[in-house]
Structure 1
Amino acid sequence: MFTSVNSRAAAAYQRIAAETSVQAASPHQLVGLLYDALLQAIASARGALTRGDIAAKGVAIGKAVRLIEEGLKAGLNLEQGGEVAANLHQMYTYSVMRLTQANVRNDAAALAEVSRLIEPVADAWKQIQGPRAANLQPVKSAGA
């Protein structure tokens, strides 16, 4: 029905913080944000499944699938990415299949499996972001 002023303010703050982090992020950081959002969506689906909230589970899995298909998978360059890009493409395709099965079958094990597949890649991505990424600065144009 009605939400409190505090909860509306908190939701607005979260939305603005997320938009700001996306706008200020480098392409490398954007991929990290996609991984974070994907793992959060899977965790939300697992929680909803545990609670028996089938509608929320479906919404969370749908979000996870979109993050993979429209974000991570769509960003792969299969021509220049070589074996790494091909392997990621296969992992993303498999993950989407398992998420779909988890949705249809209410399968918590499939959700856990996708998390186990994605977490090491997400962690590795964040590690390569460390000191090397801090030294990379955007090139400024002469007029800036």
Structure 2
Amino acid sequence: MNAYAAMKQYQTVNVNAQVTEADPHRLIQMLFEGGLQRIAQAKGAMQYGNVALKGELIGKSIGIVSGLRESLDIKKGGEMAANLDNLYAFMIQRLSHANLKNDPAVLDEVANLLREIKEGWDAIQA
């Protein structure tokens, strides 16, 4: 896992946190948290008709999911990492679709997927 790539992606979305002091496990948790927050905020912006903010927040969500994807080590993680890579690619596609079609249900779909992965990650001891 490339924790530094994940940390860099996390910093690019302007999330205030103790990124430099976090261990790699916590960095990934922070990415999940940030992604879920941005998706929820994007849904709110979508519901209030704030197109510019919706696009910005979905873009940040895509950036975070991309950071999670880039942090995967396919060689060490084998099939599980490959499956996560495919799932993250799917999530990015769905987020783009949600932005284009203004579809809050798709944001919920991605948030639910991300939440499930986060729960699994949270259960892992660092």
TM-score range, shorter chain: 0.7 to 0.9
Deviation at 1:27, TM superposition (A): 0.4
Extract unaligned runs of 5+ from structure 1: 1-14, 134-144
Matches of 2:111 and 2:65 in 1, distance apart?
Answer: 12
1:84 to 80, 86, 91: 80
Deviation at 1:58, TM superposition (A): 0.2
Partner of 1:113: 109
Matches of 1:76 and 1:87 in 2, distance apart?
Answer: 10
TM-score, L = length of structure 2: 0.85
Matches of 1:26 and 1:18 in 2, distance apart?
Answer: 16
Extract unaligned runs of 5+ from structure 2: 1-13
Listed one character per residue, the Cα deviations across residues 51-95 of structure 1 (whole Å, up to 9, x for unaligned) are 1111110000000001111x1011111122111101110110000
Partner of 2:50: 53
Matches of 2:57 and 2:69 in 1, distance apart?
Answer: 18
Matches of 1:72 and 1:111 in 2, distance apart?
Answer: 17
Q: Match of 1:18, as an amino acid?
A: N
Listed one character per residue, the Cα deviations across residues 85-137 of structure 1 (whole Å, up to 9, x for unaligned) are 011101100000000000011011110100111101112211214xxx3xxxx
Question: What SS is found at the alignment partner of 1:18?
Answer: coil
Q: Aligned-residue CA RMSD in angstroms?
A: 1.5
Matches of 2:70 and 2:124 in 1, distance apart?
Answer: 21
Partner of 1:44: 41
TM-score, L = length of structure 1: 0.75
4+ residue segments displaced more than 4 Å: none
Q: Match of 2:16, as an amino acid?
A: A
Q: Match of 1:52, as an amino acid?
A: G
Identity of aligned residues (%): 41
2:26 to 15, 20, 29: 29
1:101 to 97, 100, 116: 97
Matches of 2:124 and 2:39 in 1, distance apart?
Answer: 24
Partner of 2:11: none
Question: What SS is found at the alignment partner of 1:79?
Answer: helix
